């Protein structure tokens, strides 16, 4: 033991402690905004963010982009879309090939799918029922038939019953099921798979062998093929539905997917983050020798795919990433700042920073210097203002007078000015319901009622009997109501843009802002005149847009997405004929006539198709959005080493304030220490 004055030792220790605290302070170590734990080696982990968790992950009911960001990779489908080809093209997924299509007697059509053998579900404890230790089983055609019966089941509440109702006996199955449950309480508590078998299943769904699924439509509906590329028709194991019932501490199935996709949901905290991990049971991982089209990187693409290096990956086994980590980030500015620091691999562009990030429709020099890339794409969607055609003033009851009123109101909405003010100029003014990339879109078409023309609008107001907005028959000023559930400052400001435009032709439009539920109730009752909506394509076909104006989809009478309640006999006839046709001259002729009807009737004031601007870090590769709400994580690649190096550079701590603070602290403390020692000598 070294001898000495204990109090002196304590003084020296205090001095050393002070220095160590200063040097170990955050000022010296650098403050970090890094939301992740240290990465493990050279793992390829993609980092992203979400605002709010999806309401459900049940593939029978999930119908939002938030849901599809997860369900699109944890579930797999019979058909998929080619990653690089545009327009989008279907390729085999779980199916060996595209379906055989056969026309049957009395107008019926049979689609025959052959599934690949030896495909497995992701590992899950639900498969242990009756077989301890078992964690998976083979995917069978019956698992797809089971999922389609779930869609028909009225208790499930699927939003896509209508397109699948083209399957023979589909609607009748749902009715039989509901009736049997109501009349037989013992039947109603049986496991759901036994209930489905108990009412005889769906006649139009056949599984002649374990790996063959036959789907019989009672009438032609070519668009059914697109629905087999969506998670609604994914194979679902009955064991998962039986096990994940929310009882005895088990989660509900809508929070615990059991799928067959390239990823599994390894972690799911709705308030914090979710993690997607490679699924070792995915057929592409277990059987790379199959060289299945949807399990390898495609070898066909365009010149841009070649120049970007995407085609260098041709033939590579998927997925390339090890993991996808998605963190909850509710506010746009912090999210964008973390992207600039390198903590997120992709980002949109916040309005506040748009002019600094994008200059002359290209990345700013500062962004280019950081190696960040800009992706631009016109989304297959349409945003519009709608009239309630059941309303006596703006609707069909007013005949030609109301039609001219709608035409006049359409002419004064300057969408280019709207996009400049509210979207940083991003977006393509819409001329019809169809966006680019959808069959029937005509880039040269100009809707005469979507050209900004105040003078022509004033003339139409006179012809409609509303000179300067005054009703000739009553002498009173015309007053309308715009209903909205967007009560944010930005949302209400954008609506004022429309109301000011209509003021130019003498129309006073009051804004009635309510909650979303109240708004939906107004739509259900038909108690509204004007509203704003948007639609994003489910699949690349004009039927998916025109059906929004089909009488059978009327909101008030049928509860469908036709919120205008537009009903036109000729349009309906054309729609029914068009949707049953393959692409060709006859279909194109019908589409053009439908566009002309909508042009004149003005149930909608078409606004714009979104133009998405996305930023990607230089270490992220193989980014090519499909436009539809389909995640493409399995095709992405990244360079972890480049990311680490750039994060260090971009987040290098500024140390000089800490050194100054240390000097000041020493200057204050040292005299006290000197006095302390002198007093003890």
Backbone angles phi, psi at 131, to 5 degrees: -150, 80
Rounded to an integer, what is the distance from CA 499 to the centroid of its chain? 30
pLDDT tier for residue 30 given thresholds of 50, 70 and 90: very low
Average pLDDT, the chain: 90
pLDDT tier for residue 672 given thresholds of 50, 70 and 90: low
* Residue range 89-105, pLDDT digits in tens: 999 999 999 999 999 98
What radius of gyration, in Å, describes the C-alpha atoms of the chain? 31
pLDDT at 12 over 50: no
- Report the pLDDT value the prediction gives residue 206, as an integer from 0 to 100: 98
* Residue range 230-239, pLDDT digits in tens: 999 999 999 9
pLDDT at 324 over 80: yes
Residues 577-593: what's their mean pLDDT? 95
For residues 523 and 529, what is the distance between their CA atoms, to the nearest angstrom?
A: 10
For residues 405 and 502, what is the distance between their CA atoms, to the nearest angstrom?
A: 11
Among 17, 65, 234, residue whose Cα is nearest residue 147: 234
Burial of 288 (0-12, 13-18, 19+ CB in 10 A): middle
For 202, the 3-state DSSP assignment is coil
Which CATH code, of 3.40.50.40, 3.30.420.40, 3.10.105.10, 3.40.50.1820, is assigned to 381-609? 3.10.105.10
Residues facing residue 409 across a β-bridge? none
159 secondary structure, DSSP code: T
CB atoms within 10 A of CB 17: 10
pLDDT tier for residue 353 given thresholds of 50, 70 and 90: confident
pLDDT at 196 over 80: yes
pLDDT tier for residue 3 given thresholds of 50, 70 and 90: very low
- Residue % of the chain over a pLDDT of 90: 76
- Report the pLDDT value the prediction gives residue 128, as an integer from 0 to 100: 94
- Report the pLDDT value the prediction gives residue 130, as an integer from 0 to 100: 75
- Report the pLDDT value the prediction gives residue 40, as an integer from 0 to 100: 63
Residues facing residue 532 across a β-bridge? 385
- Report the pLDDT value the prediction gives residue 351, as an integer from 0 to 100: 81
- Report the pLDDT value the prediction gives residue 605, as an integer from 0 to 100: 98
For residues 8 and 681, what is the distance between their CA atoms, to the nearest angstrom?
A: 10
Cα→Cα distances 212→99, 124, 164, 181, Å? 10, 25, 19, 30
pLDDT tier for residue 488 given thresholds of 50, 70 and 90: confident
pLDDT tier for residue 675 given thresholds of 50, 70 and 90: low
Report the 3 state secondary structure along 125-158: HHHHCCCCCCCCCECCHHHHHHHHHHHHCCCCCC
- Report the pLDDT value the prediction gives residue 16, as an integer from 0 to 100: 43
**Lowest model confidence (mean pLDDT) among 31-40, 384-393, 457-466:** 31-40
- Residue 149: which residues within 8 A CB-CB, separation 6 or more? 173, 196, 201, 202, 205
The CATH code belonging to domain 58-246 is 3.90.76.10
Among 614, 138, 535, residue whose Cα is nearest residue 348: 614
Residues 467-493: what's their mean pLDDT? 93
Is the model more confident about 511 or about 490? 511
Is the model more confident about 528 or about 628? 528
Backbone angles phi, psi at 96, to 5 degrees: -65, -35
- Residue % of the chain over a pLDDT of 70: 90
For residues 547 and 562, what is the distance between their CA atoms, to the nearest angstrom?
A: 8
Is the model more confident about 105 or about 283? 283
Peptide bond into 634 cis (omega under 30): no
Helix (H) / strand (E) element for 332: namely helix 332-340
pLDDT tier for residue 24 given thresholds of 50, 70 and 90: very low
Helix (H) / strand (E) element for 395: namely none
Domains in the chain: boundaries: 6-31+653-679, 58-246, 381-609
pLDDT tier for residue 250 given thresholds of 50, 70 and 90: very high
Is the model more confident about 625 or about 462? 462
**Lowest model confidence (mean pLDDT) among 91-95, 129-133, 307-311, 455-459:** 129-133
pLDDT tier for residue 559 given thresholds of 50, 70 and 90: confident
For residues 110 and 3, what is the distance between their CA atoms, to the nearest angstrom?
A: 97
- Report the pLDDT value the prediction gives residue 520, as an integer from 0 to 100: 86
């Amino acid at each position: 033991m070294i001898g000495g004055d204990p109090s002196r030792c304590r003084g020296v220790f205090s001095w050393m402690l002070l220095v160590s605290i200063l040097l170990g302070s955050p000022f010296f170590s650098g403050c970090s905004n890094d939301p992740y734990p240290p990465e493990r080696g050279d793992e390829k982990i993609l980092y992203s963010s979400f605002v709010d968790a999806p309401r459900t992950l049940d593939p029978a009911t999930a119908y939002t982009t938030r849901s599809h960001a997860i369900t699109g990779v944890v579930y797999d489908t019979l058909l998929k879309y080619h990653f690089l080809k545009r327009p989008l093209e279907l390729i085999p997924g779980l199916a060996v090939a595209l379906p055989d299509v056969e026309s049957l007697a009395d107008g019926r059509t049979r689609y025959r799918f052959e599934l690949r053998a030896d495909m497995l579900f992701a590992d899950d404890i639900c498969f242990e029922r009756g077989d301890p230790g078992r964690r998976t089983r083979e995917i069978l055609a019956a698992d797809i038939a089971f999922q389609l019966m779930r869609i028909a089941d009225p208790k499930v509440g699927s939003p896509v019953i209508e397109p699948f109702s083209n399957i023979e006996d589909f609607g009748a199955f749902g009715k039989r099921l509901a009736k049997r449950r109501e009349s037989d309480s013992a039947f109603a508590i049986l496991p759901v798979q036994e209930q489905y078998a108990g009412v005889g299943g769906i006649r139009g769904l056949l599984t002649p062998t374990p790996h063959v699924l036959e789907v019989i439509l009672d009438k032609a509906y070519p668009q059914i093929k697109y629905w087999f590329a969506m998670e609604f028709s994914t194979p679902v194991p009955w064991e998962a539905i039986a096990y994940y019932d929310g009882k005895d501490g088990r989660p509900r199935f809508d929070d615990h997917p059991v799928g067959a996709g390239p990823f599994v949901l390894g972690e799911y905290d709705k308030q914090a983050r979710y993690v997607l991990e490679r699924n070792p049971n995915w057929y592409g991982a277990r059987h790379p020798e199959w060289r299945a089209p949807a399990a390898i990187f495609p070898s066909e693409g365009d010149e841009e795919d070649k120049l970007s290096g995407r085609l260098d990956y041709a033939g590579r086994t998927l997925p390339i990433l090890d993991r996808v980590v998605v963190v909850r980030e509710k506010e746009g500015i912090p999210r964008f700042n973390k992207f600039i620091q390198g903590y997120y691999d992709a980002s949109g562009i916040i309005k506040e920073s748009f002019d600094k990030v994008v200059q002359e429709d290209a990345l700013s020099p500062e962004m280019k210097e950081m190696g960040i890339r800009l992706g631009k794409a016109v989304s297959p969607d349409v945003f519009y203002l709608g009239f309630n055609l059941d309303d006596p003033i703006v609707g069909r009851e007013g005949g030609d007078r109301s039609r001219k009123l709608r035409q006049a109101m359409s002419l004064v909405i300057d969408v280019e000015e709207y996009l400049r003010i509210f979207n940083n100029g991003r977006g393509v003014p819409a001329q019809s319901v169809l966006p680019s990339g959808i069959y029937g879109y005509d880039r040269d078409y100009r809707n005469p009622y979507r050209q900004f023309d105040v003078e022509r609008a004033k003339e139409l107001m006179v012809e409609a009997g509303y000179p300067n907005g005054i009703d000739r028959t009553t002498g009173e000023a015309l007053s309308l109501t715009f209903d909205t559930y967007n009560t944010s400052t930005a949302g209400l400001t954008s609506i004022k843009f429309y109301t000011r435009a209509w003021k130019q032709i003498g129309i006073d439009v009051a804004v009635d802002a309510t909650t979303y539920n109240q708004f939906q109730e107004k739509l259900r009752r038909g108690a509204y005149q004007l509203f704003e909506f948007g639609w994003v394509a489910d699949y690349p076909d004009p039927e998916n847009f025109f059906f929004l104006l089909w009488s059978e989809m009327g909101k008030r009478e049928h509860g469908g997405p036709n919120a205008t309640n537009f009903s036109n006999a000729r349009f309906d006839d054309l729609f029914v004929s068009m949707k049953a046709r393959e692409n060709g001259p006859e279909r194109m002729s019908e589409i053009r006539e439908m566009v002309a009807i909508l042009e004149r009737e003005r149930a909608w004031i078409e606004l714009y198709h979104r133009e998405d601007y996305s930023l990607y870090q230089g270490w992220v590769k193989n980014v090519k959005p499909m436009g539809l709400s389909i995640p493409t994580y399995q095709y992405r690649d990244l360079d972890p080493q480049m990311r680490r190096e750039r994060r260090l550079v971009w987040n290098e701590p500024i140390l000089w304030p800490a050194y100054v603070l240390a000097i000041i602290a020493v200057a204050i403390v040292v005299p006290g220490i000197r006095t302390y020692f002198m007093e003890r000598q």
